[in-house]
């Protein structure tokens, strides 16, 4: 139900999704033109004052920042998603101003106009589709990069979440990713050594997977086995009656945003994050099936049942034995402060290779050990007091400055780190204390 960058919208925020490759390309072209025009006007203004403005300062005026983020949000789909992925995967390496443009895309989406929505529903369900529902509000409860979500009641009194894909999104993915990457490169703000190719390839693959609603329906069934008989969690069930290529229907589940627990009692905050961390270990080491989307909106908390609601399985990935055993070895090495084992695990995972200079290999191994700090802590780790994120960011920036470091880790590792990083950030946000070492113990061997 929850998609990346879910945002509640009013009717006046409804906008048609631009369709057709040329139309979408021209939108980006006109955006580039408006940005350049604004830069010229600002530059002339500064010159008239006797100043010599820098290109970076002209580009990143408040007007241009708003213009770029708003245009990409209107286009939705890959145009919006590629910015989201770049801001998450390369955020530590991007200038703060460019990161700000991209970060806006994580919380800014428009719903479809009602006329467009009605046309789509008639195409998918036939002209008499209204008779199948007691209640179907045309205003969505959420809108995101791929589609929007409606809370409805069917004629047999089922409460359903209906996720409806924007028209033309699947067909625009590859060209949108390439076009937006070109636009971002045009800014000249990206580090010259930042290799975008792996990120862009993964952006395309993830988008195609997330836009494949029948695949997500299958993932719902697969993932149900992960939480079967686990009283800490509940997840929606696919409703095949209303699901189509462009619509995903599932049971609607109540709950509050997970981050709203920031004011809850300490014991509840600790228990919720402990359960999510326990689930992560179970995903990786038992089922080898990981929901890799780090978005907080993928979790709700049901105060009535005391259960965590799990949502959105479009970014679920299978993990092979080699990678799984590599991460087990890495965590074992961290718990034992075994530097040789950590390095061997990093090599097996693909976080480094033998061609990298020895000093860089050691630095990467040190970062791996640092990232496992909650794991080798002898006491419950206090995420509310840690500076781990800042220290990891600083270490990552140093690696990015190394001219001899051009290695790109495998995509599966990048997505796993995003998921774990999202859990860490959530734990920090609600200030949880978690005994990570004890949670990992059942999977030591």
DSSP string, 193-218: T---HHHHHHHHHHHHHHT-HHHHHH
Q: Which letter does DSSP use for residue 111 in this model?
A: P
- Count how many domains the chain has: 2
Q: Give the C-alpha separation, 302 to 166, whole Å.
A: 29
Write out the catalytic residue numbers. Answer: 293
pLDDT at 408 over 80: no
Residue 151 domain flag:
no
- Contacts with 128 (C-beta within 8 Å, 6 or more apart), sequence order: none
Q: According to the model, what pLDDT value does residue 99 have? A: 52
Q: Give the C-alpha separation, 320 to 323, whole Å.
A: 6
Q: Are residues 184 and 312 in the same domain?
A: no
Phi/psi of residue 17, nearest 5 degrees: -85, 120
- Contacts with 129 (C-beta within 8 Å, 6 or more apart), sequence order: 121, 122
Residue 9 domain flag:
no
Residue 243 domain flag:
no
Band of the pLDDT at 100, cuts 50, 70, 90?
Answer: low
Residue 198 domain flag:
no
pLDDT at 132 over 90: yes
Residue 268 contacts residue 303 (beta carbons within 8 Å): no
Residue 127 domain flag:
no
Q: Are residues 183 and 278 in the same domain?
A: no
Q: Report the candidate in 66, 63, 24 with the shortest Cα–Cα distance to residue 180.
A: 24
Q: Are residues 185 and 260 in the same domain?
A: no
Q: Give the C-alpha separation, 377 to 373, whole Å.
A: 6
* Mean pLDDT on 165-193: 70
pLDDT at 309 over 80: yes
> Quick count: other Cβ atoms within 10 Å of Cβ 199?
21
Q: According to the model, what pLDDT value does residue 374 have? A: 94
Q: Give the C-alpha separation, 33 to 445, whole Å.
A: 58
Q: According to the model, what pLDDT value does residue 4 have? A: 38
Q: Are residues 269 and 184 in the same domain?
A: no
* Mean pLDDT on 270-295: 94
Q: According to the model, what pLDDT value does residue 37 have? A: 42
Q: According to the model, what pLDDT value does residue 398 have? A: 64
Residue 124 domain flag:
no
As a whole number, the mean pLDDT across the chain is: 78
pLDDT at 41 over 70: no
* Mean pLDDT on 28-40: 42
pLDDT at 434 over 80: yes
Q: Are residues 263 and 185 in the same domain?
A: no
Band of the pLDDT at 22, cuts 50, 70, 90?
Answer: very low
Name the β-bridge partners of 301. Answer: 256, 308
Q: Are residues 300 and 185 in the same domain?
A: no
Q: Both tokens of residue 270?
A: 């600790």
Residue 424 domain flag:
yes
Between residues 157 and 195, the one the model is more confident about: 157
* Mean pLDDT on 283-306: 92
Q: According to the model, what pLDDT value does residue 16 have? A: 53
Q: According to the model, what pLDDT value does residue 54 have? A: 45
Q: According to the model, what pLDDT value does residue 272 have? A: 97
Poorest-pLDDT segment among 30-39, 154-163, 333-342, 410-419? 30-39
- Contacts with 156 (C-beta within 8 Å, 6 or more apart), sequence order: none
Please tell me the pTM assigned to this model.
0.78
* Mean pLDDT on 331-352: 93
Q: Which letter does DSSP use for residue 17 in this model?
A: P
Q: Give the C-alpha separation, 82 to 78, whole Å.
A: 6
Q: According to the model, what pLDDT value does residue 293 have? A: 83
Residue 265 domain flag:
yes
Poorest-pLDDT segment among 9-18, 123-132, 285-294, 379-388? 9-18
Query: For the range 209-212, what are the long-range contacts, defined as Cβ-Cβ under 8 Å and sequence gap of 24 or more?
Result: 209/314, 209/315, 210/3, 210/81, 210/146, 210/314, 210/315, 211/146, 211/165, 211/169, 211/170, 211/173, 212/170, 212/314
pLDDT at 329 over 90: yes
Q: Are residues 283 and 422 in the same domain?
A: yes
Residue 335 contacts residue 378 (beta carbons within 8 Å): no
* Mean pLDDT on 58-69: 48
Q: Are residues 185 and 264 in the same domain?
A: no
Q: Identify the domain boundary among 136, 171, 189.
A: 189
Residue 419 contacts residue 294 (beta carbons within 8 Å): yes
24: domain range? 15-108+179-189
Q: Identify the domain boundary among 139, 160, 189.
A: 189
- Contacts with 63 (C-beta within 8 Å, 6 or more apart), sequence order: 38
SS3 415: helix
Tallying the residues shown for the chain, one arrives at 445
Q: Are residues 408 and 285 in the same domain?
A: yes
Q: Give the C-alpha separation, 400 to 194, whole Å.
A: 8
Q: According to the model, what pLDDT value does residue 88 have? A: 44
Residue 433 contacts residue 381 (beta carbons within 8 Å): yes
Q: Are residues 184 and 306 in the same domain?
A: no
Q: Are residues 402 and 315 in the same domain?
A: yes
* Mean pLDDT on 220-232: 92
pLDDT at 443 over 80: yes
Band of the pLDDT at 264, cuts 50, 70, 90?
Answer: very high
Q: Give the C-alpha separation, 64 to 97, whole Å.
A: 11
* Mean pLDDT on 285-302: 91
Q: Both tokens of residue 408?
A: 């790109």
Q: Are residues 184 and 260 in the same domain?
A: no
SS3 402: coil
Q: Identify the domain boundary among 168, 189, 210.
A: 189
- Contacts with 297 (C-beta within 8 Å, 6 or more apart), sequence order: 2, 3, 4, 5, 6, 142, 257, 311, 312
């Amino acid at each position: 139900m929850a998609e990346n960058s879910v945002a509640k919208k009013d009717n006046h925020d409804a906008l048609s999704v631009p369709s057709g490759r040329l139309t979408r390309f021209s939108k980006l072209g006109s955006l580039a033109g408006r940005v350049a025009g604004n830069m010229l006007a600002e530059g002339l203004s500064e010159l008239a004052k006797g100043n010599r403005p820098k290109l970076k300062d002209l580009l990143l005026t408040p007007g241009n920042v708003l213009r770029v983020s708003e245009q990409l949000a209107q286009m939705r789909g890959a145009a919006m998603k590629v910015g989201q992925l770049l801001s998450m995967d390369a955020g530590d390496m991007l200038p703060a101003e460019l990161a700000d443009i991209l970060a806006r895309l994580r919380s800014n989406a428009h719903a479809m106009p009602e006329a467009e929505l009605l046309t789509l529903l008639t195409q998918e369900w036939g002209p008499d589709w209204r008779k199948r529902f007691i209640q179907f509000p045309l205003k969505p409860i959420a809108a995101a990069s791929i589609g929007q979500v409606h809370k409805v009641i069917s004629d047999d009194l089922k409460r359903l979440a209906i996720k409806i894909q924007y028209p033309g999104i699947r067909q625009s993915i590859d060209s949108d990713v390439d076009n937006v990457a070109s636009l971002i490169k045009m800014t000249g703000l990206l580090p010259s050594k930042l290799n975008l190719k792996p990120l862009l390839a993964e952006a395309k693959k993830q988008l195609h997977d997330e836009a494949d609603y029948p695949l997500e329906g299958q993932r719902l069934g697969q993932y149900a086995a992960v939480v079967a008989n686990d009283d800490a969690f509940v997840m929606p069930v696919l409703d095949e009656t209303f699901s189509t290529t462009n619509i995903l229907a599932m049971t609607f589940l109540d709950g509050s945003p997970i981050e709203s627990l920031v004011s809850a009692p300490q014991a509840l905050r600790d228990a919720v994050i402990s359960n999510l961390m326990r689930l992560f270990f179970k995903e990786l080491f038992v089922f080898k099936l990981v929901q890799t989307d780090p978005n907080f909106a993928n979790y709700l908390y049901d105060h009535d049942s005391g259960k965590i609601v799990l949502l959105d399985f479009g970014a679920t990935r299978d993990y092979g034995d080699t990678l799984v055993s590599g991460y087990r070895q890495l965590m074992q090495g961290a718990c034992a402060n075994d530097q040789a084992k950590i390095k061997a695990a990093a090599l097996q995972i693909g976080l480094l290779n033998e061609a990298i200079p020895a000093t860089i290999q050691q630095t990467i191994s040190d970062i791996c050990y640092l990232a496992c700090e909650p794991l080798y802590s002898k006491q419950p780790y206090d995420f509310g007091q840690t500076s781990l994120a800042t220290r990891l960011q600083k270490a990552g920036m140093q690696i990015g400055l190394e001219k001899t470091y051009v290695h790109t880790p495998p995509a599966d590792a990048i997505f796993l780190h995003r998921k774990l990083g999202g859990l860490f950030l959530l734990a920090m946000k609600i200030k949880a204390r978690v005994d990570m070492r004890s949670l990992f113990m059942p999977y030591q061997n």
